[in-house]
Amino acid sequence: MSPAPTPLRRAGVEEIVARLEEEIIFGRLAPGARLTEDTLMARFGASRHFIRQALVEVERRGIVRREKNVGATVRSYTAEEARQIYEVREMLTRQAVLMMALPAEPALLAELRACQERYRGQAERGDLRAAHEANDAFHVTLFGACGNPYLVATLADYMNLTLPMRAKNLADRDGLALSISQHDLMLDLMAGRDRWALAQLCVDHMAASKADYLARIEARAGAAPDEDGPAARGRRSA
């Protein structure tokens, strides 16, 4: 049996995972980009063992795909895949909110307000990585109020699946401001009794990042070489 990883080894892998995740979700590593072990070893100054462990973890989080004879690539989705993933996430979100007891307990509201202040503060400082983490903490805490840990865990899995689609929106000033204002409104609704309004707001909260990702897919498709153009005809005649 392999020895349990020491805190130092764990920290090394976690740091690589955090930096890889940051480069992917904020667009510095494009969808479909190959992630070779040698390149990552040089970039992060880490051993092959650490890099492999980190790739296993980012694959588990759904932001990297590893395939036989291809290796690791930054995960990309088709428009249809993106729509289907968001469909499931929206259904899970609505169900979780409709299961919540409202008005929310004062302790829960206080915890959510603390998450929101961290989110707002990190956004004002321009620390997008910390803002992303505070944003996810807000949502996981909110969903926890449904009382079903299995539903919360599934929601967290789908949040990870949409990570490459949604976190880039935090780099947009208007998108970040909208996200913060919607969180404030969620807190107001949680102090009341209208579950349906809260559920709809939580679903609408995803709309901007979903639309942005679909627009990026469309832009990439529009920028693809014309398969009937001169270059394609040259390839066919070669």
pLDDT per position as a tens digit, 90-149: 999 999 999 999 999 999 999 999 999 999 999 999 888 888 889 999 999 999 999 999
Give me the DSSP letters along 2-61.
PPPPPHHHHHHHHHHHHHHHHHHHTTSS-TT-EE-HHHHHHHHT--HHHHHHHHHHHHHT
Q: How many Å is the Cα radius of gyration of the chain?
A: 20
Dist. CA 99–CA 146, nearest whole Å: 5
Q: pLDDT at position 139, please?
A: 97
Rounded average pLDDT over 59-83? 86
Q: Give me the CATH topology for the region 79-215.
A: Four Helix Bundle (Hemerythrin (Met), subunit A) (1.20.120)
User: Mean pLDDT for the chain?
Assistant: 84
Which range among 17-21, 131-135, 162-166, 210-214 shows the weakest confidence by mean pLDDT?
162-166
Rounded average pLDDT over 163-181? 80
Rounded average pLDDT over 177-203? 96
Residue range(s) of every CATH 1.20.120.530 domain in the chain: 79-215
Nearest CA to 76 among 141, 138, 165, 12? 165
Q: pLDDT at position 144, please?
A: 96
Tally of CA atoms within 13 A in the half-sphere of 214 that contains its CB: 14
Q: Confidence band (pLDDT; 50, 70, 90) for 235?
A: very low
Nearest CA to 41 among 59, 57, 25, 54? 54
**Is residue 72 classed as helix, strand or coil in its secondary structure?**
strand
Dist. CA 115–CA 29, nearest whole Å: 28
What percent of the chain shows pLDDT beyond 90?
44
- Per residue in 14-53, pLDDT (tens digit) is 888 888 888 877 767 877 888 999 998 988 888 889 899 9
Q: pLDDT at position 145, please?
A: 96
Rounded average pLDDT over 63-78? 84
237 or 134, which is more confident? 134
Rounded average pLDDT over 177-192? 96
Task: Return the H-helix or E-strand segment holding 67.
Answer: strand 64-67
Say if residue 229's pLDDT is above 60: no
Rounded average pLDDT over 225-234? 46
CATH 1.10.260.40 fits 7-74, yes or no: no
Rounded average pLDDT over 150-163? 90
Q: pLDDT at position 1, please?
A: 45
Residue range(s) of every CATH 1.10.10.10 domain in the chain: 7-74
- pTM value > 0.95: no
Mark residue 164 as left, alpha or beta (left: phi above 0; alpha: psi -120 to 50; beta: remaining): alpha
Q: pLDDT at position 142, please?
A: 97
